[in-house]
Structure 1
Amino acid sequence: MGDNAAARNQLPHHQVFDVSADGLPQTGSKCFDDDGRLKRTGTVYTASAHIITAVIGSGVLALAWAIAQLGWVAGPAVMLLFSFVTYYTSTLLSACYRSSDSVTGKRNYTYMDAVRSNLGGGKVKICGLVQYLNLFGVAIGYTIASAISMMAIKRSNCFHSSHDKDPCHMSSNPYMIAFGIIQIVFSQIPDFDQLWWLSIVAAVMSFTYSTIGLALGIVKVAENGKVRGSMTGISIGDASLGAVTQTQKIWRSFQALGDIAFAYSYSMILIEIQDTVKSPPSESKTMKKATLISVSVTTLFYMLCGCMGYAAFGDISPGNLLTGFGFYNPFWLLDIANAAIVIHLVGAYQVYCQPLFAFIEKNAAKRFPDSEFITKEIMVPVPGFRPFRLNLFRLVWRTLFVITTTVISMLLPFFNDVVGLLGALGFWPLTVYFPVEMYIAQKKIPKWSTRWLCLQILSVACLIITIAAAAGSIAGVVLDLKTYKPFSTSY
């Protein structure tokens, strides 16, 4: 994955280390950490902000629909199960940040470094492939979600001005292009550790739109005078009455698992976030606290938003709570909520993509160390701020990356199905399998011991859930493609 500040590797030695009287670099000084890198300054709160930015993403908006497929019993139960598994495996993963010793062991700067140190072999390549494909997929999913929210603002105003007489159909393409242009600018932020301010803004935005969604759900329930929904979810029967066939029920239930998995997905960037945290205390202790805070907060929000959305709409819960137009008024509040979603997704896109950017740039610098195009940094003066480090390779490759994700988003603008598929593909390998296997290797847990068996049962159970979720989401995408025309989707 490369380190979270790949550019630091390109600095001359006198910029990276303090130098003692005998000319040798000193580590562990006031300005540098024990590995000779610039002192990490992250805390429980900045790490929590990064995690919340990554976790409370657009996935929260699909939870009412997911619970509608599963019902009042299975829906909240599955959500609690995913939250527990995510928290537990994240604590296992955070213990792998340092090799062998939690205080003085060698740092693993990235998820792939941790896999390399603990497992090695072909598993490193498999991990990298799954991780980077997932990060790439998340960028596509967030581009789709942001465009839908921007369109929702335009449509709610259109409905309001036409008194609901105009269907207000529009293309999603201009909105995806606008989001892409914004991301090209923000993608030039060199390193993960310079994103803390964007993460805090994004985290605030995520609470804003989640709270609005929750409040609107409560108002809708009060307006209905009853709690909608059933114990088993959407009913099987006549489609004209909002029911589904038995086959559709199965596929949708599987897809709902993927949507919930996506809503909790952040393990793929946990090590990168941990590499921004200062010590003492040990990074694993800080990360465990940040994980507990973040997962607890997000689970509370998820339960409230998902359950209130289902209580408000029952079986007809929209796939996206704030853009599915279950709510129409007050339209200005919906506009604020959708604007908050867009701002949040700008930050979330960067939190997920920076590790991928760093990986490509580190490997390019390693392969072509003499190329000025790749390694040279131009200091651009910024009035009132520190000079901006402009790198031509970073400018070109990151711009091409954003353009690629934007074009693919325009080709496949299926929010619910894409979210479910991403959640399914990333959940088992990155959230469960690798953390469990690395923890077993690092702690030298004996094979066939009680602890080893429990960890393997957890892994296999999550694999079965992942396969089911992927199947449901693929079935949804196939169904969407039957009525789809490239670059001409309108809402």
Structure 2
Amino acid sequence: MAMQGSSRFAVESGDVSSKFDDDGKKKRTGTLMTATAHIITAVIGSGVLSLSWAFAQLGWIAGIITILTFSLITMFTSVLLTDGYRSPDPITGRRNYNYIEVVKNNLGGIKYKFCGVAQYSNLVGICIGYTITAAISMAAVKRSNCFHKNGHEAGCHTSNSSYMIILGVIEIILSQISNFHDLSGLSYIAAVMSFTYALIGIGLSIAKIAEGTYGRTSITGATIGVDVATSSQKVWNSLQAIGNIAFAYSYSTVLIAIQDTLKSSPPENVVMKKAGIIGVSITSVFYVLCGALGYSAFGNRAPGNFLTGFGFYEPYWLVDIANICIVVHLVGAYQVFSQPVYQLVEDWCKSRWPESGFIAKEHQIVIPFVGIYNVNYFRCIWRTVFVIFTTVIAMLFPVFNSVLGLLGASSFWPLTVYFPIEMHISQAKIRSFSLNWFWLKMLSWACFIITVVAVVASIQGIITDVSHYQPFKSVS
């Protein structure tokens, strides 16, 4: 409370230049570089690992067109969304600190409630998906060494559940990072890791192609009766592949939180637009390379995860490095996506019980060689419970492609397309049934249709995949 009082005094007296921003909060120091690093960390995630499989389902033409289409749509709607950080004016207006607040102050009503459900269920789902993927990569390191020692025909199966528990413990510790502003260092490390494993995957694909052991590819992807049993399976897999590609571009949920780390000058929306274009462009190049080269290497039988599906066995140590990088990256990305969930619950509880020492009071402890760290009892318990919850759900549904497809498809239309477009129409006061209004609405409806069919396909895939698993006993 004392800190808040000093913040208000600094703003009221005009002393905001040295320590505080115009809203009385600690001065933001984010730049184009830090924002771009956050975006790359958020975008290049486990989705990149499934792109060669997605290409195998869609084929050369549809695969490339789908990635480029999602890239352009994401880039366009991200630019629209950045103007919602301040309202009503995108440069001088009042700050909105998260995605749901942007929707509340620009659209309000039932749309605001719908956004809350869509955003936070998606954030929780992403944390579950990242736990699944990171555990599979940890298991892949052990399997890689086993294959190297015992031969490629050895079973080398290992439980994923134990690795999920290890990841949960790590995430519990990291979850005590108090807010998004303190994640820049973690994002830099995670961004480097994402580049590293993507480059290793590209390099291994090129090496496999150069050896002449590449797979059979085609314009239309997997062949009915050869690679897939029936035409219905071909359709389901193709729609699920679209969901996987959509997941690869899911970062709109944390865009406003990233923008809230930026310095006020130059204007946040100007810097964030540049960061979004740079970040999405860089990741799109990697996505096309990973998808196309992975498909060339494996053909229509590409594994669901091209670094853990063991299309690559040697050099085993390089496969190990790639999977370790995946784990480090997803551990950091988990924190990026979970912070808005943490803040939502903590801010609500503080407003509901402002006098509660358990919820609001910070306790200072001295950590040797680190300095003073503020501990809040409620934050410790709540964040620990959240990590345990996501870990348990991941252990119950440990399937990769279907979960990624469901998460990507279900979030793409509402969060990446619908709300940014609706807020832009409202802010720009675009007249109904004008040409601009018409084509923006057509874009939104087209993405809605894609979302619906991809969601249905992913649910069908989850039902099929889970039928082969026993809860808490999944193996890689």
Query: Common fold, TM-score beyond 0.5?
Result: yes
Q: TM-score, normalised by structure 1?
A: 0.95
User: How far has the Cα of 1:64 moved from its partner?
Assistant: 0.3
* Post-superposition offset of 1:245: 0.8
Which whole-Å deviations, capped at 9, do the CAs of 1:248-275 have from their partners, x for residues lacking one?
0110010001000000000011011100
The C-alpha deviation readout for 1:231-289, integer Å capped at 9, x for no partner, is 0000011xxx4333100011001000100000000001101110001021111110000
Separation in structure 2 between the aligned mates of residue 255 and residue 489 of structure 1, nearest angstrom: 22
Alignment match of 1:315 (pick from 300, 304, 317): 300
Q: 1:360-413 CA distances to partner (integer Å, 9 max, x unpaired)?
A: 000000111111110010011123334111000000000000001001100000
Q: Structure 2 counterpart of 1:107, which letter? A: R
1:147, 1:338 → 2: CA distance?
A: 10
1:478 CA drift (Å): 1.1
Equivalent residue for 1:16?
7
Counterpart of 1:337 in structure 2 is: 322
Shift of 1:225: 6.2
1:161-310 alignment runs, 5 A limit: 161-224=149-212, 228-237=216-225, 241-310=226-295
Distance 2:461 2:10 in 1: 60
Query: Which residue, out of 71, 81, 92, partners 1:104?
Result: 92
Out of 85, 106, 127, the position equivalent to 2:115 is 127
Per the TM alignment, residue 481 of structure 1 is displaced from its structure 2 partner at its CA by 2.4
Secondary structure of 2:244's counterpart equals: helix
Provide, for residues 173-208 of structure 1, a one-character-per-residue CA deviation record: whole Å limited to 9, x for no partner.
Answer: 100000000000000000000000000000000000
CA distance in 1, matches of 2:203, 2:307: 12
Offset from partner CA, 1:119-150 (integer Å, 9 cap, x none): 01121111111100000000100000000000
Task: Structure 1: state its 5+ residue gaps.
Answer: 1-9
Instruction: Note the C-alpha offset of 1:25.
Output: 4.3
CA distance in 2, matches of 1:65, 1:244: 16
- The amino acid of 1:16's aligned partner reads S
- More deviation, 121-130/404-413: 121-130
Work out whether 1:142 is the aligned partner of 2:130.
Answer: yes
Partners of 1:125 and 1:482 lie apart in 2 by 34
| Whole-Å separation in 2 of the counterparts to 1:321 and 1:401 | 30
Q: Who is 2:332 aligned against?
A: 347
- d(CA) in 1 for partners of 2:115, 2:152: 50
* Aligned mates of 2:143, 2:431 — CA distance in 1: 59
Q: State the 1:160 CA deviation.
A: 1.0
Structure 2 partner of 1:51:
39
Tell me if the contact between 2:133 and 2:400 (Cα under 8 Å) persists in the aligned partners: yes
Correspondence 1:397-416 to 2 at 5 A: 397-416=382-401
Partner of 1:7: none
Question: CA-to-partner distance for each residue in 1:447-485, whole Å, 9 max, x for gaps?
Answer: 001000011000000001101110110110111122221
2: distance between equivalents of 1:180 and 1:446?
A: 50
The answer to whether the aligner puts 1:461 opposite 2:446 as a matched pair is: yes
Once the two structures are TM-superposed, the CA of residue 102 in structure 1 deviates from its matched residue by: 2.3
Aligned-partner Cα distance in 2 for 1:226–1:177: 37
> What SS is found at the alignment partner of 2:86?
coil
Q: Is the 8 A contact 2:152 2:313 kept in 1?
A: no
Match of 1:6 in 2: none
The partner residue of 1:91 within 72, 79, 88 is 79
Provide the alpha-carbon RMSD of the alignment: 1.3
Q: 1:19 to 1:458 in 2, by over 3 A?
A: closer
> Once the 2 structures are TM-superposed, how far is the Cα of residue 486 of structure 1 from its aligned partner?
1.1
3-state SS of paired residue (2:87): coil
Does the 8 Å CA contact 1:27/1:34 hold for their aligned counterparts?
no
Q: How far apart, in 2, do the equivalents of 1:144 and 1:15 lie? A: 44
Structure 1 letter corresponding to 2:21: D
Partner of 2:64: 76
Report the more deviating stretch, 480-489 or 443-452.
Answer: 480-489
Does the CA contact (< 8 Å) of 2:208 and 2:214 recur in 1? no
* Aligned counterpart for 1:63 among listed residues 51, 63, 74: 51
CA displacement 1:315-371 (0-9 Å, x = unmatched)? 110000100000000000000000000000010000000011001000000111111
Asked if 1 retains the 8 angstrom alpha-carbon contact of 2:399 and 2:466, the reply is no
C-alpha deviation, 1:444, in angstroms: 0.6
In the superposition, the TM-score normalised over structure 2's length comes to: 0.98
Deviations 1:51-108 (A, max 9, x none): 1000000100000000110000000100000000000000000011111222211111
Q: How does 1:360-399 map to 2 (within 5 A)?
A: 360-399=345-384
Displacement of 1:13 in angstroms is 3.2
Partner amino acid for 2:239?
A: F
Pair 11,441 (structure 1): closer, same or farther in 2 beyond 3 Å: farther
Distance 1:89 1:398, change over 3 A: same
Aligned residue for 1:320, secondary structure, equals coil
- Residue in 2 that maps onto 1:480: 465
1:4 aligns with none
The alignment-based identity, stated in percent, is 55
Q: Which amino acid aligns with 1:404?
A: F
Give distance in 2, aligned partners of 1:193 and 1:32. Answer: 14
Rounded to whole Å, the distance in 2 between the matches of 1:375 and 1:225 is 61
For residue 12 of structure 1, give the secondary structure of its aligned residue in structure 2: helix
Shift of 1:12: 3.4
Contact 2:10 2:20 in 1 (8 A): no
Unpaired stretches in structure 2, ≥5 consecutive residues? none
Determine helix, strand or coil for the equivalent of 2:311. coil
Letter in 1 for 2:78: S
CA distance in 1 between partners of 2:425 and 2:5 (Å): 40
Question: How far apart are residue 419 of structure 1 and its match?
Answer: 0.4
* Deviation digits for residues 7-36 of structure 1 (CA, Å, limit 9, x no counterpart): xxx55334424548xxx4436322111111
Letter in structure 1 aligned against 2:473: S
Is the Cα–Cα contact under 8 Å of residues 196 and 322 in structure 2 kept in the other structure?
yes
